[in-house]
Amino acid sequence: MRDAAENAQLALLLEVSGTPKPGNVDRHRDYDDLRFEHFMAGAVGSLSGLRMAADGARIGRAFERGVAGMSDQSAGNTQFGALLMLTPLVGAAATDRLSQDGGSEVVEATTVADACDFYRAFDHVDVAVDDPPEDMGALDVRRGSDAVPTLQERELTLYDVMERSADRDGVAAEWTGGFERSFAAAEGILADDGPIYKRASRAFLRLLADEEDTFIVTRTGEAAAAEATERAQSVLDGEEDAEALAEEFVERDINPGTTADLTAAALFIALERGLEV
């Protein structure tokens, strides 16, 4: 029987195997410098950090170790956001608290040390992020471990850091909102039928149609994010072909990375709640 860490690793593998997921790497589509095998290797490398979370380690420390292992492949960042979603959920599952309230308890209990480890994780990979507000320049995550003294001076916990980013980052919004969309998507996966790669695709499309992807906003702009949401709905309505849209979005580099992160979290929750593989 798989434990929470192994289910989280499996969720990463099932997420990247899901197809079609317009704009994302999947079993049928690669980017030139970011390929299916990189995500497979990232999932394998992340297990040590996920196991730390299952064993009761601090969330920040487990996350940083997961990112370090994930980055041990030639493409750099593959699943940073997904690991940020999964680490507290694994911690909640391992203590029989895998619910919205339980997830909130875990993240609200994070410390300044967790925030410091979160920033140290950025030393391992380059992550596409927005420029911070002017008053948060000293806390730009791209500073990595150089921002640790500021975090300590201001006594900011990891939850505090997420709260300051929730209005512009979908993963941070999940952290501070009880993982609401992830749990709802998990229920959709469990209620669905057929092969999991198709369920993952449909969950991804529902999430994308429901809300603009903040990773697209950061990398490509508001117009592209709005278009992606509108066209995902068109696929769900039967007005567009998902395979054709997936090919187009990869060619145009419209990458709904935050939606993929939430899909991975939803798959983990579904696995913990009995999704059979």
- Higher confidence at residue 134 or residue 246? 246
Mean pLDDT of 46-50: 98
For residue 276, report the phi and psi dihedrals to the nearest 5 degrees: -85, 140
In angstroms, the Cα distances linking 61 to 9, 23, 68, 113, 114 are 17, 31, 11, 8, 6
For the stretch 68-127, pLDDT in tens is 999 999 999 999 999 999 999 999 999 999 999 999 999 999 999 999 999 999 999 988
Average pLDDT of the chain to the nearest whole number: 96
Quote the pLDDT of residue 139: 86
Q: How confident is the model at residue 230 (pLDDT cuts 50, 70, 90)?
A: very high
Residue 135 predicted with pLDDT over 90? no
Q: What architecture is the 4-272 domain classified under in CATH?
A: Orthogonal Bundle (1.10)
The residues spanned by each domain of the chain are 4-272
Q: How confident is the model at residue 133 (pLDDT cuts 50, 70, 90)?
A: low
User: What is the per-residue burial (b if ≥16 Cβ within 10 Å, else e) of 116-125?
Assistant: bbbbbbbebb
pTM of the model: 0.96
